[in-house]
Structure 1
Amino acid sequence: MTITLSQVRAFERIARLGSFHAAAKHVGITQPSISQRIKDLEDILGVELFTRNGPRVALTSEGHALLEYADRLLETADDVVVRFKRRDPLLGLLRIGVNESFGLICLTDLMRRLERQYPKLKTSVIVGDTGMVSALLNDHQLDLAVISEPGVANHVHQVPIGRNELAWVASSDMDLPSGTLTPAQLAAHHLIVSPQTARLHTTMTNWFAQGGVAPERVSTCNSLSVTLLMVRSGFAIGLVPIRVVSDEMAQGRMVRIPVTPAVGAHRVSLCYQIAQFGPNLQAIVDLTKELIAHHQLFK
């Protein structure tokens, strides 16, 4: 047997009001019914929760211990009802999806701001590529997302927030031909890029197709931060968002490879579930846009 919310609520009301009669009246059931709920609860827990002294009751030591749990259980239950009646993710768990550019540059600031403004809010963050995050949005498994070139259904709204500029980059120690490189010249080198589910992989394939060639050796990695480590080590040349390597280039550890034709930028959108939109979610949308502008993440 498991305890029920009705048993917990009956216990909490008796503890607060001091009598079975007052609690039954408050809950809207008969006194025998509330007595049965407490008996069932005591049987499940194997303890006595109250000492009786006529119509008045007092908590036993086990009752005092249970009261803290009861308060938390009932508060959570009430939060669930409010969250889904109002369709407001900021009243419970906010599920966020982001591309790695946002994750590396802006996510920590966003989490800190949310912590200050919504101290009871819990968050679940998924960092993934366009295919993964779009699928989760379409399946109602995310409330809000920042992704490039999203492929989302009609129940998801898109707010354009900029363009993610891309570049071919290499370790500053790598021996490369001088001047501007063409797809044919770059195709002979070892390359590393995101997997096929990522928009970045499609951009790479299309860029070489423009030059009428196919790259000879392409490795893939689903982590942008790990990709950057491998590029920095000289393992391969990478196609990455330029903003995430700006510090590396300023420090002389990586170089941007000039190419022709230019690699097209990705359109980035802030997406959210239309059914959940309201003032609170608008505040998160505004905060996210503010952080993107502050960090100059997208053009």
Structure 2
Amino acid sequence: MGETSGPYLRYVALGDSQTEGLGDGDDDTGLRGWADRLAERLAEQDAGVRYANLAVRGRLAGQVRAEQLGPALALRPDLATVVAGVNDMLRPSFDADVVAGHLEAMFAALTASGARVATLTFPDLAAVVPLARPVRSRVRALNRGIREAAGRHGVAVADTYGHAVVTDARLWSADRLHAAPIGHARIAASVGHALGLPGADDSWTHPLLPPLPAGSRGGRHTTTTAAELRWAATFLGPWLRRRLRGGSSGDGRTAKRPELTPVLGAAPGGPVPQGHPRER
């Protein structure tokens, strides 16, 4: 867990679709996501908190650095979160050292500006998507690079890898690439814990109750071949077609919250204590 500090009044989030909030709301009603939830938690401590979210879906780590770092520094945050790399891991040209280098450059610049910085490690994607077994070693390599880079710059790390709950199917949306609302709540709680926010603890690591029934997707539970094929046709196929055309889900999109603005408080049905019935 990171050192306790604060209060944080200027929070800026950098990243890709997870930080943008995909899986928690939609483009019609609005996306929420873990960064919004973290901002709401900060605002519970001080109503003067202002928050910007520069994340855009589909962005590679190098694109996050090129497109979001400058605007983030211009906003003079006292807290920044930097989460990127999953999109890189799914590319044939993935190089863990290159991706970690982009993340480290952002860590260095933001901490040098006086901001407290937090980041995440990634879960074992193969435990969520069996077809992702070939990238298991990539996840481990990138997580190692994230931890080392964070250690060199005093960055708080919410180390989600290795906790069984993060591969529980109920934390993931239907596409299995983005967190569901419950998952976003857990991510926000993990970052709050890493930052040492008041009231934060390790309850985000606790399993959901009741346990998943035997044979259900998630953790070590089995998944049928038919279900995997349906998932591949519904979600993996469109993703691959975009890649082959050189496109991205974020083409033509801009940040949902490019300026620091007040946090208006938790949305209806907002954060609940970990293990609360509304989580299930």
Where on the TM-score scale, by shorter chain, does this alignment land: which range? under 0.3
Task: Please tell me whether Structure 1 or Structure 2 has the larger radius of gyration of its CA atoms.
Answer: 1
Q: Comparing both structures, which one devotes a greater share of its residues to strand?
A: 1
TM-score (norm 2): 0.25
TM-score (norm 1): 0.24
